[in-house]
Structure 1
Amino acid sequence: MNIDTIQTFLGTTAIDLLMKIGAALIFWIVGRWLISKVVHLIQAGMNRNSIDPTLTKYLGSIITIALNITLVLGILGYFGIQTTSFAAMLAGAGVAIGAAWSGMLGNFAAGAFMLVLRPFKVGDFVSIGGVTGTVHELGLFGTTIITPDNVMTIVGNGKVFGDTVQNYSALPVRRVERTAQLAQGVDPLDAIARLKAAVAQIPNVAQSPAPEVSLLDFKLEGAVIAVRPYTHTDHYWQVYFDTNEAIARVGQEAGWPVPAAHHKVVQA
């Protein structure tokens, strides 16, 4: 190969290849921008028509992937790669690809089933796959959860669909579980009356069903009172902490002593 041949190659083939690569990059950037705009417009239209956010996000994911695949095939066609040959190559490697993607396809199928069965929707507070938090998005392959400590967590749809789902937002209210340990000598019936009055004053406590304040158990320290107000899941932690404060305040105002175990020693 002489200098003239090299110069001819650089002057024709290499420059043409660089131009095609540059054009492909421009197509990719512009195409991705157009895809984001199209998906945004579709989702905005669905939101204006009050379509469920879960369905909106799921369809948005499907449209995004479909348009990205179309964009990639278009760029390959620009380079002269026949899409039919490309598809034949993928079909020839179908066994290996199927083994590698079996889990992803299972997650996709589980997501489709959940979209139909609707065990939860975007915004619900749930416990799924060992993760508790608010549903942010039901994607093609995974469900995005925002945990109470503000951590984004993605759980595979297959794990969600095959595990127990607890939806704390499905019913109007949920119960807050607290207990009050009384000291020996404190009248439990009087304590129940005081705690009922205090819990009823807590903001966002549901009136129906009414708060449950009952004699739960007896211990060496004294009687144990179950304090169980009901509230919407959005106010759960506020009612939880306010109930603790109400128990402490009632005990302080009533002058209850600090609970302590009492043992009676019998001498032979």
Structure 2
Amino acid sequence: MPDAYPLVVEVIVPFLFKLAGAIALWIVGGWLIQLSLRLLRRALNRGSLDAMVIGYLVNILGALLRVVLVVAILGFFGIQTASFAALLAGAGVAIGAAWSGLLGNFAAGVFLQIFRPISVGDYIEGGGVEGTVEEVGMFVTSITSPANVRHIVANNKLFGDNIVNYSVHPYRRVELVAQLDNSADVGRAIALLKEGLQAVPNQYPDKPADVEVLEFTERGPKLAVRPYTHTSHYWQVYFDTNRVISDVLGKAGFPVPRIPVAMQSSAA
């Protein structure tokens, strides 16, 4: 029994103290991590971040903090953690290389949520696609084109491209042209078109349509016909304006623009 006493005093008792300290460190550290994550989640919820983004960020940060806690506990036991940290770093590099595309899309998704260049319902052009944003996910964004076709665009491609957002401002301009014949009365055509355009619904209030001479061609003057409307009514105003151009000029007896003889000869 006396021979076992030094073993108990020098080995077992210090080990038990370290074990108790490690357990206490794990409990206290875990509690502090949970508290920090709750405070972080509460602070992020006050902003404009999506709930899914907040969940991802909090979960990733929680996992990293727990890894740090485990390394600290191993160091408390006197275990050399340098090699363990190097192993974790190597694993992180390997995972990052294997998932570089996914991580890039995830990072782009986070930035899309933070900077908000687009929102659900916006009509945009970006990533080689044009249409209405249906969903901004963590890795991809869903865009429905005017042909009612859903396009799934990687966030990294969308965020790395030029984004044109047509829904940011309260109105946008519809750009159309009306080709007149060389013999046409330009002033009369402009007056008739301005009057006819007043019947087109859903134009932006107090923003009358522009009808002016755009350029002169061999066939005759070309008029710029440009009403203003909200993006949600763009195509309705676009088609109605085309119909007004055709009806107004046709009923007023404006001649159909003729192809010049020189153009006919070159075409032949």
**Given that residues 58 and 138 in structure 1 are in contact (C-alpha distance below 8 angstroms), is that contact kept between their aligned partners in structure 2?**
no
Q: Deviations over 1:150-190 (max 9, x none)?
A: 11111111111111111100000000000000112110110
**Which of 99, 103, 109 is equivalent to 2:101?**
103
One-letter amino acid of the structure 2 residue matched with residue 139 of structure 1: G
Distance 1:151 1:190, change over 3 A: same
Highest Rg: 1 or 2?
A: 2
In structure 2, what is the equivalent of residue 71 of structure 1? none
In structure 1, what is the equivalent of residue 153 of structure 2? 155
TM-score by length of 1: 0.65
In structure 1, what is the equivalent of residue 121 of structure 2? 123
RMSD: 2.7
In structure 2, what is the equivalent of residue 138 of structure 1? 136
Deviation at 1:251, TM superposition (A): 1.3
One-letter amino acid of the structure 1 residue matched with residue 213 of structure 2: L
**Matches for 1:1-268 after TM superposition, within 5 Å:** 55-56=50-51, 58=53, 62=56, 94-263=92-261
Q: Deviations over 1:66-124 (max 9, x none)?
A: 9xxxxxxxxxxxxxxxxxxxxxx998754443222011111111111121111111111
Identity fraction in percent: 51
Distance 1:56 1:92, change over 3 A: closer
One-letter amino acid of the structure 2 residue matched with residue 208 of structure 1: D
Distance (whole Å) between structure 2 residues aligned to residue 244 and residue 191 of structure 1: 14
Matched length? 192
Q: Deviations over 1:44-83 (max 9, x none)?
A: xxxxxxx97x8256558x49x99xxxxxxxxxxxxxxxxx
Distance 1:174 1:99, change over 3 A: same
Unaligned runs of 5+ in 2: 1-46, 61-86, 263-268
- Give SS of 1:103's match: helix
- Structure 1 residue runs of 4+, over 6 Å off? 89-92
Unaligned runs of 5+ in 1: 1-50, 67-88
Distance 1:100 1:230, change over 3 A: same
TM-score by length of 2: 0.65
Deviation at 1:193, TM superposition (A): 0.3
In structure 2, what is the equivalent of residue 41 of structure 1? none
- Give SS of 2:178's match: strand
**Given that residues 180 and 224 in structure 1 are in contact (C-alpha distance below 8 angstroms), is that contact kept between their aligned partners in structure 2?**
yes
